[in-house]
Chain A
Amino acid sequence: MSIEKKEFKPLIVAFCCNWCSYAGADLAGTSRLAYPAEIKIIRVPCSCRVNPMFVLRAFQRGADGVIIAGCHPGDCHYTSGNYFARRRMTMLFSMLDFFGIERERTRVDWVSAAEGVKFSTVMNDFSKKIHELGENRRLGDLRCKQTIDR
């Protein structure tokens, strides 16, 4: 019996703030700047709306990487949201690292509405990292995973 090795298709959740990064993603689309289809965007009003619980939830349900994109520091539509997000996510990522979760699975980047090219570059780069890391086996609810071969 031959066991066909299933090609690893990662799942990446991107939280994008409505004002900068989501618009940056729109611009990437308008400019036809491709990035992998495994990246699915969730629109949030501001990067500060992203509760660390959402990030953990994504990992629980089988995400292999989570990226949060917001306005550049200083450009937040709500003045200070991304500054809070920056502290929270730094702490969350550090904690995940402390628990032995690969550092590269989480990322925060600042993408403005004018940076379609950057959006696509960041997403391609992040996806590449996740491909290199492979499936997220350390964090995640095994019941939510179908592809685990034991």
Chain B
Amino acid sequence: MQTNNRPVKEIAQEIFAENQAERILGWKRGEFFYDNSPAVFSAADELQEFVYDAFCGSNLSKFLVKEAAKEGRIAVLLKPCDRYSFNQLVKEHRIDKENVLPIEIDCDGMVDIDKVRALGIKGIKSISADGDQLTIETVYGQKNCSKEDVLLLKCQTCKDRTGGDRFALVREIEEMSSVERYEFWRSELSKCIRCNACRNVCPACTCEKCVFDNDKSGIANKANSDSFEESLYHMIRAFHVAGRCTDCGECSRVCPQGIPLHLINRKVIKDLNEFYGEYQAGADDSSVGPLTSYELDDVEPDIVMNRGGGR
């Protein structure tokens, strides 16, 4: 993929050539073509492994918390949606901005390999994108499909493209009856295996020590021992990132159990927008978030009791 009509790899090479930074945070090819993973490159020759294609979904911002603290300026490649997380982390002083060279790169949506497979396409050897179409080389010959159909969940409602209504599903759940909502989340959250992937990938979860790992916090636990803890973990996580979550969608992308965790965060974002005015965390790196500010005439908590939605 390209940015300003130049391959991103070229941009990366230029950074080293012109000595703009000592290290570059980007993606390198994994064992399979679809599991590109974040990597730090410290020399031009390491860039052979550099890759930027339709499988670079992972958000690099969080890695800067550790990497930017190290010696030497680091360049980071930020897709438009990753930029929000980057700003939010800068705002919270988690990233030393001075030590980072942020490079914004274009993105036209990342592909979910499972969705391609779900179309019944088997024996995939490689996938290349050509505009809206994907060309898929398989052991059974070439196949085609529309890229739109196989985008990552988070890319389907991309904030920077005219995507679908990102709150549509949230609204659907709101309209359920209280019992249905309960059953819905029970069936989803009972799948949780407490692998902590959602927390570990979340750019808003960068605490020095997570409360779930801190046995003095009173809520520390390593595994869900009953249904309450399955919910508790996700509720507390959603509350901790409330007002700071940029809706990057990484939680749902990495969940091995396919739990739509982003819906919880989106519910919070939707509420914050409705109650306290539109707010996009990470839209800038200085504004004060909705849960650390207030207005004298804020809605009263009983709005939850009295507003619509299923009961």
Q: Taking beta carbons and an 8 Å cutoff, which residues of A are in contact with B?
A: 52-53, 56-57, 59-60, 73-74, 80, 83-84, 86-104, 106-108, 138-143
Contact = CB atoms under 8 A, between A and B. Distances in A.
A67 B232 CA distance: 19
Interface in B280-311: 290-292, 294-296, 298-305, 309, 311
7 contacts: A86-B298, A90-B300, A93-B305, A94-B267, A95-B264, A103-B178, A138-B182
Contacts of B238: 95
A91 B298 contact: no
A103 B311 contact: yes
A89 B298 CA distance: 12
Contacts of A87: 275-276, 290-291, 294, 298
A99 B231 contact: yes
Nearest to A140: B228
Q: Report whether over half of chain A's contact residues are helix, strand or loop; otherwise say mixed.
A: helix
Bin the interface of chain B by size.
Answer: 35 or more
Contacts of B295: 83
Interface of B: 173-174, 178-186, 218-219, 225-229, 231-232, 235-236, 238-239, 242, 264, 267-268, 271-272, 275-276, 290-292, 294-296, 298-305, 309, 311
Contacts of A106: 301, 304
Given A98-B174, A142-B226, 19 more contacts: A53-B219, A57-B218, A86-B298, A87-B291, A90-B301, A91-B242, A95-B235, A95-B238, A98-B267, A99-B185, A100-B179, A100-B180, A100-B185, A101-B178, A102-B178, A103-B311, A104-B305, A139-B228, A141-B226
Contacts of B231: 99, 139
- 7 closest pairs, A vs B, by CB? A100-B182, A100-B181, A83-B294, A108-B301, A93-B304, A141-B228, A90-B301
Contacts of B275: 87, 90-91
A89 B271 CA distance: 12
A86 B290 contact: no
B188 to A, nearest CB: 10
